[in-house]
Amino acid sequence: MVQILRPDEVRQRYGQLFCKGFLTMVDEEKEIAQIVEKCISKGPGEWDVVNRRRSGGVIKTIRMDGQTLIMDVVIGEKELSFGPVSEHVGGQGLAALKIEGDRVRTTWYGIAGATVGIGACIAQCPDIIQTEYPDDFKMGGAHAAHVDIITPKTVRVIVGVDDTDTKEKGASWVSALKMGSGCPVGSFIEHKIIQLNPKAPDKTTNCCSTAVSFAVKEEDIPALIEYCRDFLRKETFSENTVMTVFKGLSIPDPLKGYGVRAKTEILSEGDAVKAAEENGVLIISITGTRGAIGAVAAIGCFDMGGEAAGIPEDFK
């Protein structure tokens, strides 16, 4: 028999622990997924990074951003290899990620203290639907154990924004951050400021576009778009405001290329429309069309890390 516990039941059994967020975003076409796990402290995350990387499994890459773990994962199942070090320091790993209808099942293994992380810490996060424990589950000490953690299936949606301000008032990055942080649909993940060509003739001051990402259920994407569109209509000061929408975990290389070009070249609205049409980006006019240039570039640059915030000479 498998024992099934909801997050509140896990919390009642083991006491309040530390996981504050656990989201699973999938890209079924690319057969990849991303798990975003938020902790109240950086130390446990750093330990998890080292041990989950060592064990292999379905995790392709794993990194730490502040107190948040970001795991790029392949959909499927692979063997774990804790290695001889596990005899002395324990270990933890992700053996499988599978999609079951509108849910995602992740199968976690842990040794020693790492069993607490999967059996009690992640399992009580409010984002979890339920955790399934085998009959022989034992936690802590020298025990080895596994659990299946069930979460809602979500996708990543990036919303790019540009040209909401004028030379006298407003700032697009502020509008987008307010939009993302206050969104009632899905879960707000990231906000990025994208530095574009400072020589662009129609810039306000800094020539920056901006974008935010969300983890959202597929069926809720129309509601997310409607919220963002209505928010920007009320917030903008410009007659050229545009938002863009992209769904997926892997930004196409040509779209990245367009984003890089926007940092050094003077591009046209036609360039933006062409890049959007060829790479799955939806362009939505809020008050005009000129903002498409930067709003498409915001999608292209979204996963470039710190380089999104600068121009090429900043990183030479």
Q: What are the residue ranges spanned by the domains of the chain?
A: 3-152, 155-315
Of these ranges, 59-68, 139-148, 190-199, the one predicted with the greatest mean pLDDT is 59-68
Q: How confident is the model at residue 91 (pLDDT cuts 50, 70, 90)?
A: confident
- pLDDT above 70 covers a percentage of the chain that reads 92
Return d(Cα 200, Cα 264) in angstroms, integer: 9
Provide mean pLDDT across the span 80-104. Answer: 81
Return d(Cα 44, Cα 137) in angstroms, integer: 22
Under 8 Å between Cβ of 24 and 43: no
**Which pLDDT score, from 0 to 100, does residue 140 have?**
72
Q: How confident is the model at residue 191 (pLDDT cuts 50, 70, 90)?
A: very high
pLDDT at position 84 over 80: no
Provide mean pLDDT across the span 236-241. Answer: 92
Give the helix/strand (H/E) hosting 147.
strand 144-152
**Which pLDDT score, from 0 to 100, does residue 83 have?**
65
Collect all residues with Cβ–Cβ distance below 8 Å to 202 and sequence separation of at least 6: 240, 290
Return d(Cα 296, Cα 159) in angstroms, integer: 9
Looking up tokens 């928010």 gives 231
pLDDT digits (tens, 9 = 90+) for 163-177: 887 566 668 899 999
**Which pLDDT score, from 0 to 100, does residue 151 have?**
98
Give me the amino acid identity at 215.
A
Under 8 Å between Cβ of 149 and 108: yes
Provide the whole-model pTM. 0.94
198 vs 129: which has the higher pLDDT? 129
Q: How confident is the model at residue 114 (pLDDT cuts 50, 70, 90)?
A: confident
**Which pLDDT score, from 0 to 100, does residue 143 have?**
72
250 vs 82: which has the higher pLDDT? 250
pLDDT at position 283 over 70: yes
pLDDT at position 66 over 80: yes
pLDDT digits (tens, 9 = 90+) for 206-232: 688 999 999 999 999 999 999 999 999
pLDDT at position 63 over 70: yes
Domain over 155-315 is classified CATH 3.30.70.2200 = yes
For residue 169, give both structure tokens.
């008032």
pLDDT at position 198 over 90: no
